[in-house]
Structures are given as structure tokens and as C-alpha cells.
Chains A and B, each alone.
Chain A
């Protein structure tokens, strides 16, 4: 590595800080190696002093990687172009927030963020994991450190963000303009907290198999961590979808792009894991399956990292174009997934199956949930990998896109959504389906009312749309009804209801919210898919375009200058039935570094949906191609996701599930029933 020429005092300090960051990263690797080996040895020999190293090591490892991350951020903020990574991805004229988000807007920096979050979770176990038995905690942190070692080696040897350039270039290349957007800039940290967070489920599963003790307490320990990861992933995916919606210029919000699938698969598996962990915690059933699911969920996260980071899928997210990296990640993948599965195959046979239950019961419903979610995950996995596999084996090139997933994934969601309200009403062990049917009558009526109302308002579109709405309404009403039942909202005096609502565990409120969010999202997806309209027309200033009852009058376009771009802004007066509604100003931007064009759609959020206007190409005599779309109910998609995340937060704040709660209770053999007097 060439040493940069030392300039004035300020440059020397920049260099010192960057090199300190690099050094901290190397130290973190050494420390992670120690944390991987010594506590594990300690757990094996039952030596408390050796095991005690794990927690402080995990915390220090996080601090060291934090120093490295801060040093790289400093290089970005001060535009130190002697750092190759900064030069390739930043520009001195970029707004500050995009200088910061530029840190993870590229391959090397995003991998550094990946290990930072991995170490953050390890440190959290170090700080708050006092409720875990010492040997178990030592093993969890050892597994977590093994992951750190693998990825720190990967970063230092194939993707070092601290590589220097000499002489330092005067100006950087700039950040890809489509990444210069608030929602996109901050969705990677959420996504990473999500799928790196599932490493906790993995480490807990491997540690439990290693120790050979797996019981209800395990499910209680792992649940808060899985929930944190799940909440972050839910929000991260929703942010990415929201970004695509307003950036890509026609209002698409999900594309079944391999990169989206890479984050969606761990989400689906993680959702299944949250549900099966409940069964394990409450009834000690599904133990063997839950452990496997914990391993698989993080394996899918690792595979997502591989797909995105190796450049094997050439898509907008693939910033890495270096096959060497792909091979290294593939190796890491094989070692961890393969190792965990071998350990599982070896130990799982020794596990005893837990509590018995009838098919019609809460457990049975959660098994249905797991079967369908797992099959759905497998469908996404097959659809994503199949073209790669087929090309590798036969050389034939095929495409698997949205039309495939519409026909395979969506049908799996239908029975899941139908079963959902039943599941939360059935009792443990042995449920009464008839009673559930009777109690859900109101939900069915509610769903039909919602669908009839929507259909009367639109009176067109595919015949499936009202059915899909019934489904969404069914889930939403079912969730609310179950909640109302539990707090006796009907029939009991108000004070009694309020008292019940207060004493209901937060996890129960969380479940209601999350399920209601699912219903709301289904309604949004249906509206946006089935009743979406569009109008495209070349119009000159003064002319009008009509869509969904709105009239858009074009008032001309004018140039404007931004901090690092030039834009053309069109002005549209929106009226509805002659009454002024708003003014929309969609724009086309040309960025200066790198020189690229983006479209800025203008969106008016009406109650029934979004009016979405895009300025197209300019024609002769001041006319422009204008595209207008009306996306009915589309915001419910992200609102639904937000409510699901909120439900997760409620559940997380439940006292019984909080990190550190639920100290291990010695499990005595159940006493035989006392003989009757």
C-alpha cells in the first residue's frame, strides 16, 4: 500500500485518524479470534474465568469496530480523497447527510456496517445477557465471534475500505445520484440490523445444540433478539419499497427483484421463527423445528449477503463487481451453514419431542403458519436461484420475474390469511373450531362490508379484487375482534374493559397490532394493484390532462439549480370538479458528479389514494410528455408495515419478554397428582 504524501497539518491528522481506524479494525479481528476460542474452551472445561472473557471481549470488539467505522465516516465527512473508498464514492459538493450515508452506499463500507451491527448484537449480549447461564452465554458469544472473524477477514483481505491512494486525487467520483435520497440513504442500516440481527437466533441455536440443552427457556431468551431483528427488517423493507415507489417514476413498490428477495426471505423465515418460538416457549413443542428454523433464517441472511455482495446478480444493488469476493463469501456461507446443519443433524436426534396437541389447536394453527411461510420462503428461494442454477448447469438463460411469483407465492398467502384469525382464537392443546367460527362471524361480515363498499365505489377492475379485499378485511376485523374479545369490549362495563385492556400483556396488544397491520397491507396491495389507473399525454403549457376525476393543467416548466444538480421543474395546477386541489411540481434532475439523470415524481396524497405525476421528455414548443397515475389505497401498504413493526415494538416491551427477563427456572419433574381425600 502506498503511503500518502503528508500535506499540511490538517491532512496529517486526517491520515492519523484513517490509519487509526484501519488499525482498530485489525485489533478487532485479533480480539474476535480470542473471543471465539477462549470462552469456548472455558465452557468446555467449565472454567468460569475463561468464560468470563466473553462479555468484555464482545463489548470491546464492538468499540473497536465502532472506532473503525467512525474513522471511515470522518474520512467521508472531511472528503479525504486519499482514501480510495471515499474517492470512488463521494464528492466534496455533496450534502453532508449523503456524505455520511455514502459510508455504507458502497461495497466496502456496507460490509463494515455489517460487522459493526454483528458486533453490536454481541456487545448487547455481553451487557444484558446476565440472565443466560454462563456456559451458554460463553458459547453464544463464541459463535458470534466466529462470524465476526470470518467477515473481518473478508473485509481486511478482499474489501478493505481503508485502502489509500497516492497522490490523493483532488476531487471524488461522487455517489450514485439515485442513492442520494433520505429513505434510501437510511434503509440499509435498518435492513442490516434486521438480517444481521438474526445472527443472534443462529448463535443461540448453535450454542444450544452445542450444550445439548434445549427447552422453553431457550425460546424465551431468543425471542427478544429475534423480535428486534424482525422489527428492523420490516421497517427496512418497507422503506426500500417506499423509496422505489416514489423514485423509480411510475409507482411500482415491489418488483420481486433478486435483491428485494434477498431481504424478503429472511423476513419470511424470521416471521415463521417468531411464531414457532411462541409454541416452544408456551408448550415445549416444535423444539427441533424451531432450532432448525433459527439456523435457516440466518442462513438466508447470509445467502442474501452473498447474492447482493458477490455481484452474482447484476442489479442496481450490486456494487461489487469482483468475483473473488463472491468465492470468499460462498466459502464463509458453506462453513457456517454447513457446520450448523451438521451439528443439528448430529444433536437433533437426541432431542425429545415436546408437548402433544390436537391438530385443531393454537399449536396446530401455528404449525399451519410455519408450513405456509416456509413453503413461501422456499418459493422465493427457488425463483431467485433457479435462473442462476439452470444457467450454470445447462447454459440456458431464463428469466423469473413478477409474473412467476404472482402465480406461486400469492396462492400460498391465501390459506395463510384465511387461517390467521382462527389461529389466534383457538385454545392451546385442543381448540374448538366451531366456537371460533361463531366468534368470527362479525369479522366475516366486516370483511364483506369493506369489500362491498370498495367495489361500489369503483365498480370495475378484476373480479379477484373484491375477494382479495374480503381477505384483507377478514384479517383486520379478525385481529380487532380477538382483541375486543379479550378485553370484553362488548357486554362488560367500560371500567371493566379498560382494566382488562391495561392488564392484558403487551405481547397480546402487539399480536393484535401486527395482525391488523397484515390486513391493512393486504387491502393496500389489492387497491394499488387492481384499481391503479394511468394517463400519458404530450401536453403544451395551458393544456389539461385528466385522471381519476382530477384535472391537471400544465403551467410550463422552468430550470432550477440544486446543490449538486440541475433540474427542470414542471408546474401543474390540480383541480377536481373545478375546485382547486393543489399544485404539483414534478422534476427531472441532472446530477453533476457523476453525470446522471433522475426523475422526481410529485405526489398528492388524497384520502382514496395517491395522485402521482411525472414529467417526461421535453418536446418542441414547450410541450412535455406527462404521465399521471392514480394509485388507490397505496399508502396502506406502508402503513400496514409500520403497524406490524409497531406491534413488534409492543411485544418487545412486554415485561415477560424483555432482554434479561425470565431467569432460568429449575425444571423439576412434575409432581404426581395428590390422591383424593
Chain B
């Protein structure tokens, strides 16, 4: 039964993971919504940037896990109290760490993440430009260089054949 107990444990872990996923099926409850439409819209925008900490790759806007709900309520409380969007974000990050942000801040630790793709693009483009230049100059010098012996011999043969045919 060794296999069985191991698998049972695995199954329990998995179903726990899956239940938290299923819990993502719907988010903002009617009672959470703010009466002020502009404020509610801001809350939604902020929510889309915040990670539901107990789910996999879901924003709190998309998740109905209890913790996501708590965060949504917190965001709305802060907004109602008059905080700006940045203040709310900063407050949440102070409490929950940078892990809560779905879009990491730009900084030393995320330099490669933010600049990597652009650096790669710039590198590839500059390499292409350089190669195309050197290829063109190589092609140009190829036109100017004298014929090799082999080429000269073939040319002579063709010209000779041409002359004799005439």
C-alpha cells in the first residue's frame, strides 16, 4: 500500500490546489461594489494589477478566494478614504510585499526583465545592419576584384568557342 498512501497524499494536495483554482470562477461580489462609479472603475483597474496571493497567476479582480476578497475590500476602503491610486498600491505592497504586483516595479532586481527584450531587439537590429553593410561592401569589392585563374580560363574557353562558332 506504499504507492497508495503516497498517491493519496498527492491527490489531497492536488485537490486543494484545484479547489483554489475553481474558486477563481468569479470575482467582485455585488455587496463589495462602490456606489461611486468613477471610484469603482479605479478600484477595478488597481485590482487587475494585484495578484491573488493564494491562487495561481490570477488577479484579485478575477478571483473569489477569500483573501482576494479581503484585498478588494481593502483597495476600496483606501480609495473611499481619499487615497490616490499610487498610495493604495504602495500601501498594499508595504503590507504584502512586491509579490502582490502582477507587473513588477522597475528596479535593479528587474533590470533584465524590463530591458532584456528591448536590449535583445536593439542588439539584433544593430548586428543585422552591420552585417548587411559588410555584405554589401564585400559584394561591391567582389565586382572590382580581378578574375581568378579559374574564372579567366573559363572565360577564355567561352570566348574561344564563341569565336570558332562564328
Collect the chain B residues with CB atoms within 8 Å of residue A178's CB.
18, 21-22
Asked if A413 is an interface residue, CB under 8 A from chain B, the answer is no
Please pick, from A165, A249, A382, A383, the residue contacting B25 in the complex, using a CB distance under 8 A.
Answer: A249
Distance of A268 from chain B, by nearest CB (Å): 13
Asked if A444 is an interface residue, CB under 8 A from chain B, the answer is no
Interface size class of B (residues with CB under 8 A): 35 or more
- Nearest neighbor of B114 in chain A, beta-carbon distance: A408
Proximity string of chain A (571-600) to chain B, C-beta cutoff 8 Å, 1 when within and 0 when not: 000000000000000000000001011110
Proximity string of chain B (30-53) to chain A, C-beta cutoff 8 Å, 1 when within and 0 when not: 110100000000000000110100
Asked if B81 is an interface residue, CB under 8 A from chain A, the answer is no
Known contacts: A250-B62, A399-B99. The answer to whether A404 contacts B116 by CB under 8 A is no
Collect the chain A residues with CB atoms within 8 Å of residue B154's CB.
672
User: Considering the chains assembled together, what is the distance between the CA atoms of A95 and B149 in angstroms?
Assistant: 79
Known contacts: A382-B112, A401-B59. The answer to whether A536 contacts B28 by CB under 8 A is yes
Stretch binding the partner chain, chosen from A132-140, A312-320, A484-492, A550-558: A312-320
- Are B103's CB and A407's CB within 8 A? yes
Known contacts: A250-B25, A399-B101. The answer to whether A84 contacts B120 by CB under 8 A is no
8 Å CB contacts to A: which residues of B108-163? 109-110, 112-114, 116-117, 120-121, 124-125, 128, 132, 135-136, 139, 154-155, 158-159, 162
Known contacts: A178-B22, A250-B26, A250-B62. The answer to whether A84 contacts B7 by CB under 8 A is yes
Collect the chain B residues with CB atoms within 8 Å of residue A625's CB.
29-30
Distance of B58 from chain A, by nearest CB (Å): 8
Among B1, B7, B104, B125, max chain A CB count under 10 A is at B104
Asked if B85 is an interface residue, CB under 8 A from chain A, the answer is no
Stretch binding the partner chain, chosen from A13-21, A35-43, A389-397: A389-397
- Are B3's CB and A163's CB within 8 A? yes
Asked if A169 is an interface residue, CB under 8 A from chain B, the answer is yes
User: Considering the chains assembled together, what is the distance between the CA atoms of A178 and B23 in angstroms?
Assistant: 12
User: Considering the chains assembled together, what is the distance between the CA atoms of A672 and B150 in angstroms?
Assistant: 13
Asked if A240 is an interface residue, CB under 8 A from chain B, the answer is no
User: Considering the chains assembled together, what is the distance between the CA atoms of A255 and B10 in angstroms?
Assistant: 26
Collect the chain A residues with CB atoms within 8 Å of residue B139's CB.
356
- Are A165's CB and B4's CB within 8 A? yes
Collect the chain B residues with CB atoms within 8 Å of residue A403's CB.
48-49, 102-103
- Are A88's CB and B7's CB within 8 A? yes
Please pick, from A165, A249, A255, the residue contacting B26 in the complex, using a CB distance under 8 A.
Answer: A249
Among A249, A316, A356, A374, max chain B CB count under 10 A is at A316
Please pick, from A315, A374, A538, A596, the residue contacting B30 in the complex, using a CB distance under 8 A.
Answer: A538
Asked if B56 is an interface residue, CB under 8 A from chain A, the answer is yes
Asked if A402 is an interface residue, CB under 8 A from chain B, the answer is yes
Known contacts: A321-B10, A400-B104, A536-B28. The answer to whether A596 contacts B59 by CB under 8 A is no
User: Considering the chains assembled together, what is the distance between the CA atoms of A400 and B124 in angstroms?
Assistant: 25
Collect the chain B residues with CB atoms within 8 Å of residue A542's CB.
none
Asked if B27 is an interface residue, CB under 8 A from chain A, the answer is yes
Asked if A331 is an interface residue, CB under 8 A from chain B, the answer is no
Distance of B140 from chain A, by nearest CB (Å): 11
Q: Give the secondary structure class of B's interface.
A: helix
8 Å CB contacts to B: which residues of A303-334? 314-316, 319, 321
Please pick, from B28, B99, B162, the residue contacting A398 in the complex, using a CB distance under 8 A.
Answer: B99
- Are B103's CB and A401's CB within 8 A? yes
Collect the chain A residues with CB atoms within 8 Å of residue B13's CB.
321
Known contacts: A398-B99, A401-B59. The answer to whether A382 contacts B113 by CB under 8 A is yes
Asked if B57 is an interface residue, CB under 8 A from chain A, the answer is yes
- Are A378's CB and B104's CB within 8 A? no
Asked if A359 is an interface residue, CB under 8 A from chain B, the answer is yes
Asked if A668 is an interface residue, CB under 8 A from chain B, the answer is no
- Nearest neighbor of B163 in chain A, beta-carbon distance: A675
User: Considering the chains assembled together, what is the distance between the CA atoms of A397 and B98 in angstroms?
Assistant: 7
Proximity string of chain A (379-421) to chain B, C-beta cutoff 8 Å, 1 when within and 0 when not: 1001100100010001011111111100110001000000000
- Nearest neighbor of B25 in chain A, beta-carbon distance: A249
Collect the chain A residues with CB atoms within 8 Å of residue B58's CB.
255
- Are A367's CB and B101's CB within 8 A? no
Collect the chain A residues with CB atoms within 8 Å of residue B114's CB.
408
Proximity string of chain A (47-86) to chain B, C-beta cutoff 8 Å, 1 when within and 0 when not: 0000000000000000000000000000000000000100
Collect the chain A residues with CB atoms within 8 Å of residue B100's CB.
399
Known contacts: A255-B57, A321-B14, A378-B120. The answer to whether A599 contacts B26 by CB under 8 A is yes
Known contacts: A173-B11, A257-B56, A400-B102. The answer to whether A627 contacts B26 by CB under 8 A is yes
- Nearest neighbor of B136 in chain A, beta-carbon distance: A356
- Are A675's CB and B162's CB within 8 A? yes
- Are B102's CB and A401's CB within 8 A? yes
- Are A598's CB and B17's CB within 8 A? no
Asked if A256 is an interface residue, CB under 8 A from chain B, the answer is yes
User: Considering the chains assembled together, what is the distance between the CA atoms of A376 and B4 in angstroms?
Assistant: 44
- Are A537's CB and B7's CB within 8 A? no
- Are B51's CB and A314's CB within 8 A? no
- Are B14's CB and A398's CB within 8 A? no
8 Å CB contacts to A: which residues of B72-102? 97-102
Asked if A353 is an interface residue, CB under 8 A from chain B, the answer is yes
- Are A536's CB and B33's CB within 8 A? yes
Please pick, from A84, A88, A375, A402, the residue contacting B121 in the complex, using a CB distance under 8 A.
Answer: A375
Asked if A258 is an interface residue, CB under 8 A from chain B, the answer is yes
Known contacts: A314-B56, A367-B128, A399-B101. The answer to whether A537 contacts B26 by CB under 8 A is no
Asked if A176 is an interface residue, CB under 8 A from chain B, the answer is yes
Distance of B152 from chain A, by nearest CB (Å): 12
Please pick, from B14, B57, B110, the residue contacting A256 in the complex, using a CB distance under 8 A.
Answer: B57
Collect the chain A residues with CB atoms within 8 Å of residue B116's CB.
378-379, 382
User: Considering the chains assembled together, what is the distance between the CA atoms of A356 and B133 in angstroms?
Assistant: 11
Please pick, from A255, A372, A404, the residue contacting B103 in the complex, using a CB distance under 8 A.
Answer: A404
User: Considering the chains assembled together, what is the distance between the CA atoms of A316 and B21 in angstroms?
Assistant: 7
- Are B11's CB and A594's CB within 8 A? yes
Distance of A575 from chain B, by nearest CB (Å): 22
- Are A408's CB and B30's CB within 8 A? no
Distance of B111 from chain A, by nearest CB (Å): 11
A selection of 27 A-B contacts at a CB cut-off of 8 Å is A84-B7, A87-B7, A163-B3, A165-B4, A169-B4, A173-B11, A250-B26, A250-B62, A255-B57, A319-B14, A356-B139, A374-B124, A379-B116, A386-B113, A394-B109, A396-B109, A397-B98, A399-B101, A400-B103, A403-B49, A407-B103, A536-B28, A538-B30, A597-B22, A598-B22, A625-B30, A672-B154
Which residues on B are within 8 Å of A, measured CB to CB? 1, 3-4, 7, 10-11, 13-15, 17-19, 21-22, 24-31, 33, 48-49, 51, 56-59, 62, 97-104, 109-110, 112-114, 116-117, 120-121, 124-125, 128, 132, 135-136, 139, 154-155, 158-159, 162
What are the 7 closest A-B residue pairs judged by CB atoms, nearest first? A401-B102, A249-B25, A403-B103, A379-B117, A397-B99, A398-B104, A315-B56
Further pairs besides A84-B7, A597-B22: 13, Cβ < 8 Å:
A169-B4, A250-B25, A255-B57, A315-B57, A367-B128, A375-B117, A379-B117, A404-B103, A536-B28, A537-B30, A598-B22, A599-B26, A625-B29
